[in-house]
Amino acid sequence: MRLAASMLLLLLAGCSGKDEIADQVEERAEQRAEAMEEAGEAMENALQQNIVEQQARTRREAGQERAEAIRQSDLDADQLSPDQKKALIEADGGTVGAKAR
């Protein structure tokens, strides 16, 4: 986990434009989806595997949608602090309604 945090900070140091932020949002979602899929493969219950696979697809799609929204936005990434960039990248794209619980 510390290695991932260190890598993220290094990436943020070179991250200036909204395209770079969007790319990192997509990459983070992809990594999380892959981790979910790996966990699902270890499950013996086929129903649980299917649920985890669907959640991974949802995570991946949410990341792609967030990244596209960032690319289409009027965001001036050069005006963001490193902490703001980090928060934008690390925000949980999750599923619709996940925050409502």
For residue 75, count CB atoms less than 10 angstroms from its CB and return exposed for 0-12, middle for 13-18, buried for 19 or more.
middle
3-51 tens-digit pLDDT: 455 455 445 444 558 999 999 999 999 999 999 999 999 999 999 999 9
- Averaged over 60-74, what is the pLDDT? 96
Average pLDDT, the chain: 83
Banded pLDDT at 91 (limits 50, 70, 90): confident
Q: Which residue range is the domain that position 51 belongs to? A: 2-92
Q: Is residue 101 part of a domain?
A: no
Q: Is residue 98 part of a domain?
A: no
Q: At CA 23, angle to CA 93 and CA 36, rounded to 5? A: 45
pLDDT at 16: 53
> Which positions ≥6 away from 28 have C-beta within 8 Å?
63, 89, 90
Global confidence as pTM: 0.72
